[in-house]
Structure 1
Amino acid sequence: MFTITLSEEIKQACPGFAGVAVYAHVQNTSFCPGLWQEIDSFTAELTAATCLDDIKHQPAIAATREAYKRCGKDPGRYRPSAEALRRRLLRGIPLYQIDTLVDLINLVSLRTGYSIGGFDADKITGNSLELGIGRAGEPFEGIGRGVLNIEGLPVYRDALGGIGTPTSDNERTKMGLETSHILALVNGYSGEKGLSEAAHMIQTLLKNYTGSDGGELLFFP
């Protein structure tokens, strides 16, 4: 398991932050029918009970949007991933299918409203991460997005630099079919409430669909 700390600047901007990490051995696959039955079921529930204007008021999403403002980013221009996923479904656009690990992280994010980082743990440099705030000109290649301006975004950094923000993770540490160890980071800008449930949801999906034993949990800071 990694050591995860918070920078002084993120502590000042987001004093109520709490997080949980899930580290597990996994076997990824390109597609999992059982998982997609769960995704399709949740999509039907969400679209039947929610409208677009409701999304930003979901507690975890609202807290992440507020964190963006405190850190210096406009959440209307750089949406947290959980918000972007819900908006996608509410606009009638199906969830994109990537692979089992990415798909299950997306499902938990959709269900809980947390923006969750999912990383190939073996691609992380060093054994520690720090959550800070992105700086002007800081290099960051978002997955499928090209160079991303992360100034004012909360960002996890390893020994080489940024690996994940609530808007997008970095190409350098992204998961793929070769991934055998996952590190999932649940960002609780709304505090500790709900973190355990989200972490156990990840563990259950990993057990059901990746042959994992669920791995280890680390609550931080």
Structure 2
Amino acid sequence: MRILLSDEIRNACPDFCGLAVLARVQNSAYCEPLWEEIERFTADYRARYTTDSIKSMRPIQATREAYKRCGKDPSRYRPSSEALCRRILKGSPLYQIDTLVDLINVVSIASGYSIGGFDADKIEGDTLTLGIGRPGEPYEGIGRGTLNIEGLPVYRDALGGIGTPTSDHERTKLTLGTTRLLAIINGYSGREGLEEAGAYLQDLLRRHAGSDGGTVIRFGAIDN
């Protein structure tokens, strides 16, 4: 799997660094040990942060700035990491979807990075390219229906868009039948904290998803 940056993204977001994990996995509807860990993490997170703290979380603010540079209002289309952090800091529980989605969500909250999670077997071709959404470009967000991705950073495979920091696409979403995961950590704030987020994701995959941790793919400014 190759992951490339378009010239338009390189120009708009020159500090972008991406780290992806491609791994064999065993998904499950619910993982009790993972949720015990998530509940401890959530309690600690709420004790340490407030909704005002989001303003100082560099990965979240850098993603919001990237939206503006690409042509999108981040207050109308929040990055997923910001939405998740706001949710738990307002006292709502984290969504329980399935083990792969749940562990990606906790890494996203812990790191501040928006993370795309894809069924690698549903990706068309062997290359993804990160570009910017075009006017009228078709896109069906998971659980959101038709999503206007004009001005959003978007990963495209051979058929079209599959992932934005706001929502991934229904076509390549994770299911209980997923056996190959591609998780992409989007570092619009650069390299700081990116490797740690990837290592945390791999650790959770080993402990809760029957994986050996998979292969790491680095791309963007990180490969210069």
TM-score normalised by the chain length of structure 2: 0.97
| 1:172 is the counterpart of 2:159 | no
Give, as a single letter, the amino acid of the residue that structure 1 aligns with 2:82. E
**SS of equivalent residue, structure 1 residue 129:** strand
Equivalent residue for 2:81? Answer: 82
1:11 matched to which residue of 2?
A: 10
1 CA distance for matches of 2:59 and 2:35?
Answer: 24
1:70 alignment partner in structure 2: 69
Matched residue, 1:209? 208
Separation of aligned partners in 2, 1:52 and 1:190: 20
Superimposed CA distance per residue, residues 167-196 of structure 1 (whole angstroms, 9 cap, x where no aligned partner)? 000000000000000000000001111111
Instruction: Give 2:118's aligned amino acid.
Output: F
- Which 4+ runs in 1 deviate beyond 4 A? none
**1: CA distance between counterparts of 2:123 and 2:151?**
22
- RMSD of the TM alignment (CA)? 0.7
- Contact kept? 1:56, 1:83, Cα under 8 Å: no
Deviates more, 1:48-57 or 1:94-103: 48-57
2:55 corresponds to 1:56: yes
Counterpart amino acid of 2:165? Answer: P
CA deviations on 1:10-49 (whole Å, 9 max, x unpaired) are 0100000010110000000000011111111111112112
**Which residue of 2 is the match for residue 115 of structure 1?**
114
How many Å separate the matches in 2 of 1:202 and 1:54?
23
- 2:99 matches 1:100: yes
Partners of 1:14 and 1:21 in 2: CA distance: 18
Secondary structure at the aligned position of 1:204 is classed as: helix
| CA distance in 2 between partners of 1:170 and 1:61 (Å) | 21
Q: Which runs of 5+ in 2 are unaligned?
A: none
Aligned to 1:144: 143
Note if contact 1:58-1:113 (Cα within 8 Å) is conserved in structure 2.
Answer: yes
Displacement, 1:57? Answer: 2.2
Structure 2 Cα separation of the partners of residues 50 and 24 of structure 1: 32
For residues 141 and 25 of structure 1, what CA distance do their matches in structure 2 show? 26
* 1:116-137 deviation per Cα after TM superposition (whole angstroms, max 9, x unaligned): 0000000000000000000111
Q: Among the aligned pairs, what percent are the same residue?
A: 66
For 1:202-221, what per-residue CA distance to the aligned partner results, in whole angstroms no more than 9, with x for missing partners?
Answer: 11100000110001001003
Amino acid across the alignment from 2:159: L
Aligned length: 220
Structure 1 residues not aligned, in runs of 5+: none
Cα deviation code 1:119-156 (max 9, x no counterpart): 00000000000000001110010000000000100000
- Name the structure 2 match of 1:182: 181
Which stretch shows the higher mean deviation, 50-59 or 79-88?
A: 50-59
Q: CA deviation at 1:102?
A: 0.3
